[in-house]
Every structure is written in C-alpha cells, then in structure tokens.
A and B are shown apart, each in its own frame.
Chain A
C-alpha cells in the first residue's frame, strides 16, 4: 500500500506485529486504520434472537411447503408434523423478531409502512400473515376439524413459505457488514437450501412409509447448502475469512459435519424410523449451526476494520486502473 497509517496505532495492531521479522509466506494485507478501531458500528442484534430468527423462519417456511404437499398426496402423519413445525417455528421466529426490538411494545410501528427498500419491512409483512395461516393449518391438522379451512390456510402458508425462507438472505445482505453484503449473491440460496434441509429433517420424524419426500428434500437441501456456501466463500475471497475462524468458524465446521452426517444417515437409515429421526435431528442442528455461524461471521467482519478498508481500497485501485 502506498499510504501509511499513524505510527502509534499500527504499532498496537496485533496483526502487524511481525513487521521487520521473517518474511511471511503470504504478504500481509497492509491497511490504515484509526488505532485499529472498527469503521462500522457492528450489529446490536442478539445472536439468539436474530440467529435464531434466521433458523426458525427458514424452518417454518419450508415446513409449510412440505405440510401442503403431504396433505395433497395423502400423507397425514407427515402433514401433521410439518404443519405443527411450520406453526411452532413461525411463532418462535416472530417472537424472536419482537424480542430483539429495543422497544418491543412499539412492534406495531413496523406496520405503518411497507418499504421494498427495507427487507425487514417486507419480511414483517410476509411473516405477519404467514404465522396465523400456519397456525390455523396446524390446529386443523392436529384436531382433524375444519379441514377445508385448514387446507385453505395451509395452502396460503405454503405459498408464502418459500419467501419466508429466502428473504432473510436479503435482510442481512443489505447491510454494510462485509461478510454479509459480499455474500449477497449466494446468501438467499444458502438460506433456502438450509431451510429445506431443516424442514426435511423435521419430516424425517414421520413414519418411514410417509417420509420419502421429506428425505429427498432433506438430502437435496443439505447438498445444495454445502455447494452454495462453498461457491459463496470462494467468490468472496478476503471477506469470507471470518467464516473460517473463531466462533463462526467452529459453528460452520460443526454445521458442515452435521449436514454430511445427517444426509448420509437419511439415505442409509431410510428403512429405520429411529435412524431417520436421528438424521433429521442432525440436519436441524446443522441448519442452526450454519445460521449462527453466518451471524457471528458477519459480526466479526464488522468488528475488524480490515474487512472494510482492504476491499474498498482494492475497488478504488481497480477503478483507477480502469480509468488509466
């Protein structure tokens, strides 16, 4: 880099301690900063609330789709599990959304406007009708009463479901957080695939006579999630680094291992309800780990000025090269 940072700060920044020592194999990214302090204000969201929101919302959306399919194809027990999952997870994600507000009593202010520029606004308007629809569908599936109302509500929930699963990709990508925004191309796909794996995993708790479609979706989701995530990481370069270290790295690694184990178990254990349920549980845990990992990776990328400064410098240099 052709610029220098203030002396005192750079002496302090741990990542630059090795200067003057042996030559590192890979040249270190030299960058200026203000005493190593972050440029961005990192998200104030609680990991349990918003990380959980990403997971439960995804699970709810994809479960509503499975529930509708199961009802249409005459798989009542799968339908019951998935419809209950959709309603329960939807309710949890909605509660997490409200709980994370600094002023939960003002939640209704979300409904003053509908802004396409704000994924949170759009998401609230999608999740708002989804939760009662999924609730009615689940109540009908569990009690066996008002079937026509249940199937109408269930169809409505299934139509909104994929949007509920996917929009959270735009929610976190539309921020200045480097590890989230740079992931904006793949994130919706990572999230819907992860949702399919989780909801498929939940469906694996149904008797094996009925769980075949959930199994297909679970395995496809797990595979799709791994592929989309790898592609994303590869394309992002530097800003994907936080996904490979610290708490985020551990969560992502655990998620990958659980995903592979769950998918294998779902295929190999397809004749045993117990093995299927265990695989389903692994897939649910995998999806939760991945979402939390992506959450923490984003926070870590916002807390280190490197991920803000270096890519922006690169962009400026590339633009300058284009001009000349």
Chain B
C-alpha cells in the first residue's frame, strides 16, 4: 500500500516521478499520490502588507461557490464580523489594532466627554489647527513623533485553507471524500462526505468545519472548478491590491522571497513568511502568507504539525495495548481456578 507515501521523510528533496514540477524546495503532492502528467502545483501567496481589509475576497468566494450566508452578527471586537474560517466562510479577513508605530491614531480612547452634537454642527471638516488629531480623538498623552505618527497600526490579513503538503484532513477522512487534486490542492467531494466530522479536529489550522443544517464538512476548494478552466480563484480575481496572488507555487515562493527582502530593506523588520517552508510541520503550505506579526496574533498556529506523522508510533502503541489486554485476560483465567 502506498498510504504513507505522501509523507516523504524529506519533503524538500522528494523527486517528482512525473518530472513535471520538481524544483528544489517544492514537494509534489499530486505526483506522490499517483497523478502522471499533471499541472504544476498551484497555490496562494497572501501578502498581508498590502491588504486593505475590503473583504472583496470573502464576498467573491461566497458568490462564486454559492456558500450560504451565516448569521449577520456583530462581533463587537473589531471590523471583523466574520470571526474565523468555517463551513460557511472560506476566506476570513482578520482585523487587528495594535499600539505599534504606523498610522496616526490611538486605540482604547475614551469618548465619554465628546459632545457629538457640537461635532455635528462643526461638520466633517477638521480645522487645520487640530489636524494632528481627529475631532473625536482627545489629545494623546504621548506627543506625535516628529513625523506626525503616534503609536497605532492596523493589521489586516485574509486567511484561507492552507492546502497543506501533508494534509491532516485528507489523511483522516475515512470515506476518501477529501482528495488531492492534480493541482496539488485539497478538496472535499461533497457527494461522498458522510459528515463523520473527523477532519474538523484533525486540521491544525481550524479551517474545515461542519455545516450544521447539512451535516457535511466544507472548506475552500481553491475554486477547483475555475482552475480546471484555466481561471484564477474568485478571491484572487477580486482582490484589488493583489494581496492575494495565485499561481504556480514555485513562482509564488520566489515572489514572496523578493517581497520579503524589499520590506526588510525598507525597515519593516516584523515582516516574515508563514507556511512557505517545505520542511515545516505540514511539509509547507500550498497557501502561504507574508505576515507583519507573530502568527498567533492573526489566529494562526505558530508551529502546526500534521499529527499523522506520529500515527505509525500510535499504531504501535495500540498494538502493544491490545496485546497487554489479551495477555492480562489470559493471565486472569490461568491464575484462577473454578471454585467448587
């Protein structure tokens, strides 16, 4: 059986049997599961440094994939009213406010003593002498820096299924509903899924989830139907700033490396790539990111692993435990005589 074969010990060095992708640093998950001639591995590079939080990706995804609306809730925590990825949200734009240099306003400001009626009379224009602050922001205790900045920045990031090289959801699916496409992506066949729910706690990123009234598991397909027709996924198509980039994974990785170097040169030391490394705990992500802070700040796990890597050792222990039970039972019968 070849069932563990898509877990090459050295993902970075695994050769592509079909010879169609195979450059250093790129595993070939499609080839590893038996596709002969197949297109190169396709992926997403989400550059959060240019995300403006417009949520066009969320909308385009819902439109194209006919993903049902979920509750119209206001989370009250930020402009993010989506909350996170799930069965009915295959793209999720995170909003984070931080006291860090960048931008020119402050978080946590009390507006208790602001007379809104007076402000309404004044109109929307801010008089030039009050320019460093908005009409609704009282002066800050920290003076603006010489360049006019105060300590606030907004981070925005569009999250999505990572289409892992070693995908836990796919490994544990007992029906074969989850499968690896010829593009190296991971897709649920909804006509097969019986809603066992195993993939949900298996995913180390909290991506896939059950649609309650439907019972089955749903997640991003990287627009499998569009890919087959040579089109880019709906989210990437809709993104106005090219924060979401779609293309052959090798190319995206090169592009990301160049972008990271540019940002570091510009003094943005926080910039880092997430999920780009083919030697990480999931063999690298098919959808990876450029972040401006620690992954957990965006709700991403800092060091995810595919637990199937430990499964051979778990099976060994299951065997030992079963053997121990059988041995204990034999001993129990051997050491006891029938009384009377």
Contacts and interface: CB of A to CB of B under 8 A. Distances in A.
A17 interface: no
A281 interface: no
A161 B204 CA distance: 32
Interface residues of A, number: 97
Max chain A C-beta neighbours (<10 A), residue from B155, B174, B177, B335 = B174
A316 B301 CA distance: 11
Interface string A4-33: 111111011000000000000000000111
A309 B303 CA distance: 8
A65 B324 CA distance: 12
A116 B1 contact: yes
Given A41-B203, A121-B174, A213-B336, A102 B318 contact: no
Contact of B297 (A5, A101, A302): A5
Given A312-B301, A312-B302, A167 B332 contact: no
Contacts of A146: none
Nearest to A68: B329
Interface size class of B (residues with CB under 8 A): 35 or more
A6 B216 CA distance: 34
Nearest to A43: B201
A43 B197 contact: yes
A219 to B, nearest CB: 9
Contact of A213 (B208, B217, B324, B333): B333
A169 B301 contact: no
Contacts of B78: 8, 35
A166 interface: yes
B210 A44 contact: yes
Contact of A101 (B195, B315, B339): B195
Interface in A133-175: 161-163, 165-167, 169-170, 173-175
A175 B296 contact: no
A33 to B, nearest CB: 6
Interface in B321-340: 321-326, 328-333, 335-340
Interface in A210-244: 210, 212-217, 220-221, 224
A166 B201 contact: no
Given A118-B172, A212-B336, A177 B201 contact: yes
Given A184-B314, A209-B339, A41 B208 contact: yes
Interface stretch (A84-92, A189-197, A245-253, A272-280): A189-197
A217 B208 contact: no
A62 B314 contact: no
User: Which 5 pairs of residues, A with B, have the shortest CB-CB distance?
Assistant: A102-B195, A102-B215, A34-B299, A162-B322, A106-B194
Interface of B: 1, 3-4, 75, 77-78, 83-86, 94, 96-100, 107-108, 155, 168, 171-177, 192-198, 200-210, 214-217, 293-294, 296-304, 307-308, 310-311, 313-315, 317-326, 328-333, 335-340
Given A12-B77, A39-B206, A176-B202, 10 more contacts: A3-B294, A31-B296, A34-B298, A113-B176, A165-B322, A173-B307, A175-B172, A176-B201, A188-B320, A189-B317
Interface of A: 3-9, 11-12, 31-35, 37-45, 61-62, 65-66, 69-70, 72-75, 100-104, 106-107, 109-110, 112-113, 115-121, 124, 161-163, 165-167, 169-170, 173-177, 180-181, 184-185, 188-189, 191-193, 195-196, 208-210, 212-217, 220-221, 224, 298, 302, 305, 308-309, 312-313, 315-316
